[in-house]
Amino acid sequence: MYNLSRRTEVIGPSKIEHSLKILEQNPEIISLGAGEPDFSAPPNVIKAAKKYLDRGLTHYAPLQGKIELREAIAKKMKKENKMNVNADDVIVTCGSKEALLLAFLVSIDAGDEVIIPNPTYLAYAPMVQMLDGISVPIQLREENNFELIVDDVKDFLTNKTKMLVICNPSNPTGAIYSKKTLEEIADFAIENNIMVLVDEAYEKLVYEGKHVSLASLNGLEDHVITTQTFSKTFAMTGFRVGYAVAPENVIKEMKEFKMTTTLAAPTVFQMAAVDALKNSGKYVKKMKKEYNRRRKMLTKRLNEIPKISCAKPKGAFYAFPNISELKMSSEKTADFLLKKAKVMTIPGNEFGNYGEGFIRLSYATEYKKIEKAMDRIEKVIK
């Protein structure tokens, strides 16, 4: 039999994918597992996409992305994220996941170490390992609001450390990094000459406090790659448009690698994304307001259930309750809730070994469905 590459051993079967298959076969199950908005894309974006299709924008876009979109992104990053960038510092990608992969491709060699705090988004470590890099996990603790403690990072620093990855706001915890913590990370990155990859997919979904982009801090221009996406903020997951912002020399190398990946994000959807940035503000505020309503209800209900506690998430659209008092593993708890309550959740260890003792619940689900799901969970736990 033909021997496949060692890389096939890096990524095991996805519990999330398995759960989605179960969901398809069992319509009575309420899913709190989804990692995408339950809203449609803004009406103006859909209208724009149709307009550009009618105009025949069905050919390849430039490798780095349509100039109209890159200029709109640069303008947005200057105004809203306080980053001193121009269109040459932006590359458009097929969702932010490609941006992450390109960032790793241009940053690490075999044997390089990448510090990845967890629980966090599940794609980072496998990407590093696929490139023969070494992922170094650091625990994010609930008592620290799942924020990274820089003194902890120093304990894992070696002469092979090349990069630090942070997710802000966080998937799965909903945590938001304070400016003070980001300033400490900035000092650490400059002092040790390492790159920081910052995933800001949920930057606009902030309910308490204020989101600060690490790259906006003084002296960080050459030490940060920021990735963002239209998927979460604008409910455009199916459009597959994301982007990275970094120093021009880094973007140049990412562009070269893009020739070997997707070549270009869909042209018509890149142009629709321009309209999203310019004309979707009210729609985004409407979505955010509804997410916030669900967030408050969900965390309140979770904290009323015996042996479950949940800190109120400040951003994204996930709750990450502590279920350790149930005396079941995260996987067993998720299986129990699926079988007995007919509610789908995601076990915390999907997001790294330090996610054990937690489960993730998404409130990107209709309010009434969340209420019904909580009724079911409360009943089976009691």
- Provide, rounded to the nearest whole percent, the portion of the chain with pLDDT above 70: 98
CA dihedral 42, 294, 331, 324 (to 10 degrees): 150
Cis check for the bond before 169: say yes or no (omega within 30 of 0).
yes
The residues, any chain, with a CB within 8 Å of residue 115's CB and separated by 6 or more, are 136, 138, 153, 156, 157, 161, 163, 164, 165
The residues, any chain, with a CB within 8 Å of residue 173's CB and separated by 6 or more, are 119, 140, 146, 313, 318, 320
Average pLDDT, the chain: 95
Residues 200, 166 contacting (CB under 8 angstroms):
no
The answer, yes or no, to whether residue 14 has pLDDT greater than 80, is: no
* Across 357-372, average pLDDT: 97
Among 10-24, 126-140, 239-253, 307-321, where is mean pLDDT lowest?
A: 10-24
Instruction: Please indicate, yes or no, if residue 361 is contained in any of the structural domains.
Output: yes
Among 19-23, 193-197, 203-207, 215-219, where is mean pLDDT lowest?
A: 19-23
- Domain count across the chain: 2
Instruction: Please indicate, yes or no, if residue 154 is contained in any of the structural domains.
Output: yes
Looking at the structure, do residues 237 and 143 belong to the same domain, yes or no? yes
Burial pattern 176-202, b for ≥16 Cβ within 10 A else e, equals bbeeebbbbbbebbbeeebbbbbbbbb
Of the residues 279, 314, 333, which one is the last residue of a structural domain? 279
Confidence of residue 25 (pLDDT cuts 50, 70, 90): confident
Q: Which two tokens stand for residue 229?
A: 């996406």
pLDDT at 16: 66
pLDDT tens digits for range 226-257: 999 999 999 999 999 999 999 999 999 999 99
* Across 328-357, average pLDDT: 96
Looking at the structure, do residues 309 and 367 belong to the same domain, yes or no? yes
The answer, yes or no, to whether residue 291 has pLDDT greater than 70, is: yes
Looking at the structure, do residues 265 and 136 belong to the same domain, yes or no? yes
Task: Tell me 263's DSSP state.
Answer: S
Instruction: Please indicate, yes or no, if residue 49 is contained in any of the structural domains.
Output: no
What domain range is 268 assigned to?
A: 56-279
pLDDT tens digits for range 41-79: 999 999 999 999 999 999 999 999 999 999 999 999 999
CA 247 to CA 300: how far, in whole Å? Answer: 43
Instruction: Please indicate, yes or no, if residue 51 is contained in any of the structural domains.
Output: no
